[in-house]
Amino acid sequence: MTKKTVLVTGGAGFLGSHLCKALLERKNRVICMDNFFTGRQRNIAPFMNNPDFEVMNHDVINPYSFYVDEIFNLACPASPPHYQRDPISTYKTNIFGALNALDLADKWNAKVFQASTSEVYGDAQLHPQPETYWGNVNPHGIRSCYDEGKRGAETLFFDYHRQHGTRIKVVRIFNTYGPNMNPEDGRVVSNFIMQALKNEDITIYGDGKQTRSFCYCDDLIRGWLCLMDSDDSVTGPVNMGNPGEFTMLELAEKVIALTNSKSKLVYKPLPGDDPKQRRPDISLAGELFGWKPEVQLEEGLKRTIEYFKEF
Specify the pairing of strand 238-240 against strand 167-173.
parallel
> Which residue type sits at 270?
L
CA 117 – CA 292 distance, rounded (Å):
17
8 Å CB contact between 305 and 311: no
CA 261 – CA 156 distance, rounded (Å):
46
Specify the pairing of strand 5-9 against strand 29-34.
parallel
Backbone angles phi, psi at 206, to 5 degrees: 75, -150
Question: 229: Cβ–Cβ under 8 A, 6 or more apart, which residues?
Answer: 289
What own/partner pairs with CB < 8 Å and gap ≥ 24 does 96-100 have?
A: 96/60, 96/61, 96/62, 97/9, 97/60, 97/61, 97/73, 97/153, 98/73, 98/152, 98/153, 98/156, 98/157, 99/156, 100/60, 100/61, 100/62, 100/63, 100/64
CA 39 – CA 108 distance, rounded (Å):
27
- Count H helices, E strands: the chain? 10, 13
CA 76 – CA 151 distance, rounded (Å):
13
For this structure, is 146 an active site residue? Answer: yes
CA 202 – CA 191 distance, rounded (Å):
8
Q: From residue 19, give the alpha-carbon distance in Å to each of 30, 89, 175.
A: 10, 24, 16
> Which residue type sits at 218?
D
Which entry of 91, 146, 160, 216 is annotated as an active-site residue? 146
Residues annotated as catalytic (active site), given as ranges: 146
